[in-house]
Structure 1
């Protein structure tokens, strides 16, 4: 298994309220980069997780556990949400679907 794809765990932070202007500041995104094995989710696993076939679903596998809080995952220019996560002895897998 090749861990050759860069994925980015994103943590979203809402902008704070500015009392002087009455507006909210822009939201910020912080990213944590990791190497992962990225593959299409099998039809059988989609049936287990979603109960149906879902387009744009990927399975990600990391060599180590990722224990930091995050909101979404970016792969190239696409944003994904985590639908299922499983920690193995030393590895961690995620089943993700694309955010529309």
Structure 2
């Protein structure tokens, strides 16, 4: 299995209150990780979602990571739907976040 695509794990950190805008400014830390990215199989899509959503992918990364808040692949943002930790790697099933 090739780990040939660079993905970015995004961890959100609550920021400070901005008095000018009235919003909190969240900060994001991104970590580049080499992964194998593939489309999720139809059987797994039916089992996990009970339908076939658009933009679902499966990632394999070497080693063990703390669960990120989001994952960016090719400029698109994905949320984690399922994470499995195996002996030497982790598997993530992610779906695209609209917008």
Corresponding residue pairs, total:
98
Q: How does 1:6-45 map to 2 (within 5 A)?
A: 6-18=6-18, 23-24=22-23, 26-45=25-44
Match of 1:5 in 2: 5
Q: TM-score, normalised by structure 2?
A: 0.88
Change beyond 3 A, Cα 1:87–1:26: same
Structure 2: give runs of 5+ residues left out of the alignment. none
Alignment partner of 1:94 out of 84, 92, 95: 92
Match of 1:80 in 2: 78
Answer yes or no: is the 8 Å Cα contact 2:17–2:25 preserved in 1: no
Q: CA deviation at 1:27?
A: 2.4
Q: Distance in 1 between matches of 2:38 and 2:31?
A: 20
Match of 1:60 in 2: 59
Residue aligned with 1:47, SS: helix
Change beyond 3 A, Cα 1:25–1:50: closer
Answer yes or no: is the 8 Å Cα contact 1:86–1:92 preserved in 2: yes
- How well do the aligned residues superpose, as a CA RMSD in angstroms? 1.7
Q: Return the index of the structure with the highest Cα Rg.
A: 1
